[in-house]
Amino acid sequence: MTTNMEKSYVVGMDIGGTNTVFGVVDSRGTVLASDSIKTHQFEKVEEYVDAVCEKMLPLLEQFGGPEKIKGVGIGAPNGNYYSGTIEFAPNLPWKGIIPLAAMFEERLGIPTALTNDANAAAIGEMTYGAARGMKDFIMITLGTGVGSGIVINGQLIYGHDGFAGELGHVIVDKEGRNCGCGRKGCLETYCSATGVARTAREFLVARSEPSILRNVPAEEIQSKDVYDAAVKGDKLALDIFQYTGDILGRALANFIAFSSPEAIILFGGLAKSGDYIMKPIQKAMEDNVLNIYKGKTKLLLSQLKDADAAVLGASALGWEAKKAEF
């Protein structure tokens, strides 16, 4: 048996602002075992890497140990494919430039590659999900922030510096909400799960009508509370989704003008709110898109389970990972 055949597994890791999920994946794209930790409980990145490895190594032992793993692929906010670094990620606790791929490679002894978390999800969707067979699409991830992976002519777009596709930081209101990136009015301050919670708090102060959301302490409101209230017909909650969908739909109309994608695929917890969010997005997108693009771009939901999409996408990097010189 050749060495390559012996290394029949890879590790995929998705680093989110809230959770980090990692799993062992085989060549058929099956997540064989997975685990997770809370990302933001570690103030020092070194402690975080140690904690992930402490949980990951027992998983690897089930499959013959690190020597049986071909590579590790990581999807992370502000991840740079070229340098293997996370750089100035507003939704992570560690600031500045973090050489994360090198840190994991040194700790595990396994070749490690890293990319933006939304790029990883796009690779997963293209390989295993709603974008199979598509050469032009945009993946939008709606989580703690808003991420995007842009595929043109079958290739993920990295740009000259590795950071192409930060559509969550397109400014939709120059006098708008403060963003973790240091600017104002970024799309993710309105259309992420965090943004929906911010809208809920603003609406509750600005409006006086009764709402189920008034039973939740303002600082504890999450997008799931808004969804639960909308299901019960709560007018304020429905208006929050309408407001959010309008902003995202207009932004998507602009994105279509850039790359004329066959589809825009929405992924993440907020996308699971169904018609409450999808109908306003679709309407705003169609109302605002340039005539030559009308009716051409499908709005789709991811076909992959939340954890699997990002883990599978990141794992695809693992097959290509080589011992790097960071």
Query: Are 23 and 311 contacting, i.e. CB atoms less than 8 angstroms apart?
Result: yes
pTM for this one? Answer: 0.86
User: Do 118 and 139 share a domain, yes or no?
Assistant: no
Domain-located, residue 267: yes
Report the pLDDT value the prediction gives residue 326, as an integer from 0 to 100: 45
Alpha-helix residue ranges (DSSP H) falling in the chain: 3-6, 45-61, 100-108, 117-128, 188-191, 193-206, 223-231, 235-259, 275-288, 306-320
Domain range spanning residue 145? 133-303
Q: Are 21 and 31 in contact (CB under 8 A)?
A: no
128 found inside a domain: no
Q: Residues 6 or more apart from 226 whose CB is under 8 A from it? A: 196, 197, 200, 213, 237, 240, 241
Bridge-based pairing of strands 97-98 and 155-156 is unpaired
Same domain for 247 and 161 = yes
DSSP 79-119: EETTTTEEES-TTSS--SEE-HHHHHHHHH-S-EEEEEHHH
User: pLDDT by residue for the chain (326 residues), tens digit each?
Assistant: 334 456 789 999 999 888 999 999 998 889 999 999 999 999 999 999 999 999 999 999 999 999 999 999 999 989 999 999 999 998 899 999 999 999 999 999 999 999 998 898 898 888 888 999 999 999 999 988 999 999 999 999 999 999 999 999 999 999 999 999 999 999 999 999 999 999 999 999 999 999 999 999 999 999 999 999 999 999 999 999 999 999 999 999 999 999 999 999 999 889 989 999 999 999 999 999 999 999 999 999 998 876 677 788 899 889 888 765 44
Q: Where residue 80 sits, what CATH number does that domain have?
A: 3.30.420.40
Looking at the fold, whether 87 and 211 belong to one and the same domain comes out as no
Residue type, 22: F
Axis crossing angle, helix 306-320 with helix 117-128, rounded to the nearest 10: 90
Tell whether 127 is covered by a domain. no
Tell me if 38 is assigned to some domain.
Answer: yes
Kindly state whether residues 254 and 155 are assigned to the same domain: yes
Query: Are 22 and 311 contacting, i.e. CB atoms less than 8 angstroms apart?
Result: yes
The predicted pLDDT at position 233 comes to: 98
**Domain-located, residue 326:** no
Whether residue 118 is found in the same domain as residue 179? no
The pLDDT value recorded for residue 324 is: 54
**111 shares a domain with 23:** yes
Give the per-residue pLDDT at 248.
98
Confidence at residue 198, expressed as pLDDT on a 0 to 100 scale: 98
Residues 110 and 179 in one domain: no
In a domain, 288, yes or no: yes
Are 114 and 145 found together in one domain? no
Q: Do both 93 and 154 map to the same domain?
A: no
Kindly calculate the radius of gyration of the chain based on its CA atoms and give it in whole angstroms.
Answer: 20
d(CA 121, CA 268): 10
User: Which pLDDT does position 2 carry in this prediction?
Assistant: 38
Q: What is the pLDDT, as a whole number, of residue 16? A: 87
Which two tokens mark 35?
């685990």
Instruction: Count the domains in the chain.
Output: 2
Amino acid in position 180: G
